Amino acid sequence: MTISALQSARAKYQPKLPNSLKSSVKLVEGAKTQSVADQDAIQKLFPNTYGMPLITFEAGEKKQYPAVNVGVILSGGQAPGGHNVISGIFDGVKNINPNSKLYGFLGGPGGLVDHKYVELTAEIIDEYRNTGGFDIIGSGRTKLEETAQFDKGEEILKQLGINALIIIGGDDSNTNACVLAEYYAAKNSGIQVIGCPKTIDGDLKNDMIETSFGFDTATKVYSELIGNIERDANSAKKYWHFIKLMGRSASHIGLECALQTQPNITLISEEVELKKQTLSEIVDYMAGIVAKRAANGENFGVALIPEGLVEFVPEMKALIAELNDLLAEGSETEKKFKSFTDKAEGRAFVAGILSAESAKVYTSLPSGIADQLTLDRDPHGNVQVSLIETEKLLGEMVKKRLGEMKKEGKFNGKFGTQYHFFGYEGRCAAPSNFDADYCYSLGYNASFLIAEGKTGYMSSVRNLTAPAAEWIAGGVPVTMMMNMERRHGHMKPVIQKALVELESAPFKYLAANREKWAIETSFVYPGPIQYWGPTEVCDQPTKTITLERTK
């Protein structure tokens, strides 16, 4: 691997740890827990790992722990800081007992099932400290859901003498980790399973998991890019930039980036759903702001659009739900649809099998967007929203509406558009100081959960708006976060996604300033993501968590 000057210098950064993890720990058990919903159903499915207490680590006297062999998996999409979680695990298990070993399973959960692994040594780990990406062992999206997979995993874990498995992933991956922990506990296999909260989307959080790792870095990277575009817009003064931001189910990324950059328009999917806003109403709102700015001689602006917006618009949500059923893998209608080589014929066929209301919406869409809605479903059987060019859909519809307004004498300006989608740009950035510290602490903390014999827990580091030394480390039972949801036609236990709350301080701050930012050019240019410099610049958490945790 070629080492850049940045990576070489960054390797020297020593991540900060909570004081409680700097030597030996004392485990303090808190209250017994229950799931956020569907308590009876979750308890029945997880009899061995349900109701466990919250755990907090405090500084304690030196203990002698036996050596442990630990396996680690990176699961799902990349997020900045994954390498630091693994570095923290490595340093943690070696601190517990120098004879401990760490194995990485290659290519995600599939590496466990297929017995593909590497022993992670100090020589390997030191190359990846404080770097972005998941390339140390790779990641994958294999779902650990079947007993045959669990048994194949147990084979290699036993063969390598691995006592515990750490799964670094998002809500689905940690749900799988919980199922695996329950299975091994029921079998009395002696294999512990611990989760770590990863997702740049920011939708894996609660009182015990204040933020998922990678969110801080990704939003700072996106905000730098948005700020650059805002400055360009304010310089050229001739384009509206429609920017789609990653985040399928939740608008946390869009909200945080708006708080950092103060764009003219910020759409929040959860608000659209609550207010039952139609596509036409959203377009009217956006066109109205364009017209007001044009009246002030400002024919430019920036609009932030969440990736999953179309699924929250009521008539689009109904249309997508129908399409998911009609075009379900293996269905007769899917086979018939795929037999059409002419796209226009395929669209006509789809329009003919939809309900009258959904057909009306479907046929009103630009043909390119209609085609994107009928692409192959994702592994969950849902439309792949990242492939839907929502920013272009809205841009075309706003342009059409402004044309109508011009005829009515309500718009007298110009409207030119530029389109952007920020997704991959933020997933593998070198972690910010905050994420470097947070991820290292999550991994180091996980090693103590293993040393204390725990399973079915997620590594938890809280009090994140305080200096790192004052962070609170511990563990939260994964079953505490679960509820039952319908997946592929069946009710399944899953970690409940945390969506943007419209009563939350971050959203209220946006709502209070939205009208001013819409008409005035109030852009903020955050600049490049910072690693060195004053604490007040470089070590700050996101505005989201600062507003949420301010009492």
Q: Which residue in the list 201, 203, 437, 539 is annotated as catalytic?
A: 201
Q: Which residues pair with 74 in a beta bridge?
A: 168
Dihedral through CA 522, CA 524, CA 525, CA 527, nearest 10? 180
Q: What share of the chain is helix, strand, coil (3-state, %, to 5)?
A: 45, 15, 35
Q: What three-state secondary structure class fits 137? A: coil
- HSE-up (13 A, CA, CB side) for residue 182: 25
Is the distance from CB of 506 to CB of 255 less than 8 angstroms? yes
237 vs 301: CA distance, rounded Å: 8
Q: What three-state secondary structure class fits 70? A: strand
In terms of Cα–Cα distance, which of 204, 213, 202, 301 is closest to 507? Answer: 202
Residue 85 in tokens: 């979680």
Is the distance from CB of 71 to CB of 164 less than 8 angstroms? yes
Is the distance from CB of 233 to CB of 239 less than 8 angstroms? yes
* Amino acid letter, 94: K
CA 9 to chain centre: 28
Between CA 470 and CA 477, with CA 471 as vertex, the angle to 5 degrees is: 150
Active site annotation includes 201: yes
73 vs 76: CA distance, rounded Å: 10
Residue 115 in tokens: 């017995």
Between CA 342 and CA 347, with CA 346 as vertex, the angle to 5 degrees is: 120
Q: Which helix (H) or strand (E) holds 19?
A: none
Residues annotated as catalytic (active site), given as ranges? 201
